[in-house]
Every structure is written in structure tokens, then in C-alpha cells.
Amino acid sequence: MSATVLDGKRVADALCGDLRARAATCVARGNPPTLAVVLVGDDPASRVYVRNKGRRAAEVGIVTRDHHLPAATTTAELVGLVQQLSDDPAVHGILVQLPLPAGIDSQAILLAIDPAKDVDGFHPDNLGRLMIGRPRFVPCTPAGCMRLLAAADVAIRGRRALVIGRSTIVGKPMAQLLLAADATVICAHSRTMALADEIAAADIVVAAVGRAEFVRGAWIKPGAAVIDVGINRRADGSLCGDVEFAAAAERAAVITPVPGGVGPMTIACLLANVVTAAEQA
Ligand code: NAD
């Protein structure tokens, strides 16, 4: 293997160390950073995510307030709770764990969150700010990818960056962040033709597809930086990313592993948004 493997846990730990100090300053001012976590229903993966976020928040000194609601909760009831949390001056960040049960209008819930407390960065106000180059809260996974690129000293300006995936939570904001950092950005998706050629031309590849080892190592340009956002479970239960890691690591200059790459950064960036929200309150 020739690539440097980017240790997301180490970068996330360093960020959390800074956050701990900033959170302590907020506490000393009588304003402990507080995150309201809203979980609706009993999706097992969501429960795990919420538990991990709560544990990490506590380590940093962020107070979490859990609101666990039954799957039968209506859109109106959930909007009511989110509005109440938006109006509560002791709450700095609101996280509504996605996906919500099928019967709930996710867009209505998102719009009910005060944009100044939207620590996920999914409210149109925050996505719009990102688009015009005046970001407030940036979606946590793309923000974490940018921090990983910075930690590895990857040059972005003028380089050709390929984002594979165009979701609102990962692909689109990722493309915006790379554009803002002066990359020449291509955003590929399920209708893209000749994806292998696009990958072979890219200096930076961010894979956010959700398909196990979909990006073949042989497609990677020698010396490229590869950020693997995907989290997929193989038939044997083990986790893997969207990139064929071992083969890609033979060609890339830097690469993130799965697990232990982007995942820890996503949580750390969420906590960074909560501390920032508390500082600005
Ligand atoms: P999504 O399903 O919303 O989007 C997937 C994207 O992949 C779509 O835009 C689609 O156009 C594209 N795509 C599908 N097939 C393709 C193909 N054949 N060629 C090119 N593009 C194709 O998923 P998402 O929410 O953006 O998440 C993507 C992956 O990242 C998932 O594995 C998810 O679990 C993972 N994820 C990880 C983190 C983290 O913290 N590490 C956070 C969010 C998402």
C-alpha cells in the first residue's frame, strides 16, 4: 500500500479537544451548550446513532436532552415539539434524527427548526447561505470531509474534484464546499455516463453512493486523494465503504478507511456546530 491512511478518529479527537475547552468557557458563563435530540420510532440504526452522538457530546461537555417519541407521532405533534425547542433559550441545537417514519412530512419538520439552531445544516436557510458563500451551519459529513482534506494537507485550489452522489445531506453540500475552496468540481450521480473515466481524471474523489466497494481501485488516478463516505454492510456483517479500499490505496496518495474515516468526523462536526450555536446565543 502506498497511500497515507487518514485516521478520522485521531482528527476528530483533536477537534473534540478544542471543543471541550470552548464548551467549558460556555459553562463558566452559565450557558452550557445544549443539544436537543429528537428520535421518532424504533429504527435500530437510528437508536445506535443517537446513542453514539449522546456519548460523544457528554465527553465534550455538551448537555443532551433526549426526546424519544412513538412511531405514531403526527407531523403536527412533531412540528409542535420542534417549535417549542426552537423557542427555548436554553436549547442551542436541535437534531431530528433521520429518517423519520413514513407518515411524517420531513420537510415540514425541517422548516420548523430555527435556522440558528439547525446544527445539522439541512434547513434551506443554511443550505442557501452555503450556496452564496456565507455559511453558518454546514452539513456535518461534508464539513468533516473538508477537515480531513485539510488535516492531510491536500491541495484543493485549481484541482479537479469529483463528488459521487448528489444527496442534499452529503453530495450537493460537498460539491459546494469544494467549489468554495476553488476546486473544479464535477458532481456524478446515478445517471452519469462513463463514471470510471471521470474518476480516472479526478485529483480528489469523494464517494457518497451507498454501494459496497462500488469504486474500483484501478479507476483511481495515481496520487489522488480519496474520501470514502459510504457505510455499507457486507454479507458477513462487516462494514466497508463505497471504495475498494486495498486496491485504491495502492494508487491514491491519501485515503480514508471505513470505519474510522469520515464517520467520527461527522459526529465531531455536529458537536462543533452545537458549541458554535451556544457561543453565538
Ligand atoms: P443517498 O442514497 O441519498 O444518495 C446516494 C447517491 O448516490 C445518489 O445521489 C445517487 O445519484 C448516487 N448514485 C447511486 N447509484 C449511482 C451510480 N451507479 N453511479 C453514480 N452515482 C450513483 O445517500 P446519502 O445519504 O448521500 O449517503 C451515501 C452513503 O454515505 C451511504 O452509504 C450512507 O450510509 C453514507 N453516509 C455516511 C455518513 C458518515 O458519517 N460517514 C453520513 C451520511 C451518509
64 phi and psi angles, rounded to 5 deg = -115, 140
Query: What does the pLDDT read at residue 273?
Result: 98
CB of 166 closer than 6 angstroms to any ligand 1 atom:
yes
What is the band of 102 on the pLDDT scale with cuts at 50, 70, 90?
very high
Task: Among 106, 190, 211, name the best residue to mutate to test ligand 1's pocket (greatest count of ligand atoms within 8 A of Cβ).
Answer: 190
pLDDT at residue 35 tops 80: yes
Query: What does the pLDDT read at residue 11?
Result: 98
Whether 203 is a known active-site residue: answer no
Contacts of residue 165, Cβ cutoff 8 Å, sequence gap at least 6: 171, 174, 187, 188, 189, 206, 207, 208, 209, 210, 229
Whether 114 is a known active-site residue: answer no
pLDDT at residue 1 tops 90: no
Average confidence score pLDDT of the chain: 97
pLDDT digits (tens, 9 = 90+) for 195-236: 999 999 999 999 999 999 999 999 999 999 999 999 999 999
Query: What does the pLDDT read at residue 260?
Result: 97
CB of 266 closer than 6 angstroms to any ligand 1 atom:
yes
Query: What does the pLDDT read at residue 137?
Result: 98
The mean-pLDDT minimum among 40-49, 56-65, 86-95, 186-195 falls in 40-49
Angle of the 140-151 helix axis to the 8-28 helix axis, nearest 10: 110
Q: Average pLDDT, stretch 31-40?
A: 98
Active-site option among 114, 117, 118, 120? 120
CB of 231 closer than 6 angstroms to any ligand 1 atom:
yes
CB of 162 closer than 6 angstroms to any ligand 1 atom:
no
CA–CA–CA angle 89, 107, 137 (5° rounding): 50
pLDDT digits (tens, 9 = 90+) for 152-185: 999 999 999 999 999 999 999 999 999 999 999 9
Task: Among 192, 209, 214, name the best residue to mutate to test ligand 1's pocket (greatest count of ligand atoms within 8 A of Cβ).
Answer: 209
* CA 211 to ligand 1: nearest atom: 32
Query: What does the pLDDT read at residue 159?
Result: 98
Whether 153 is a known active-site residue: answer no
What residue's CA is closest to ligand 1, atom 13?
A: 190
Query: What does the pLDDT read at residue 73?
Result: 98
Q: Average pLDDT, stretch 186-193?
A: 98
pLDDT digits (tens, 9 = 90+) for 110-156: 999 999 999 999 999 999 999 999 999 999 999 999 999 999 999 99
Query: What does the pLDDT read at residue 188?
Result: 98
Query: What does the pLDDT read at residue 263?
Result: 97
pLDDT at residue 32 tops 80: yes
Number of C-beta neighbours around residue 110 at 10 A: 18
Query: What does the pLDDT read at residue 42?
Result: 93
Contact between 62 and 34 (Cβ < 8 Å): yes
Query: What does the pLDDT read at residue 54?
Result: 96
Query: What does the pLDDT read at residue 117?
Result: 98
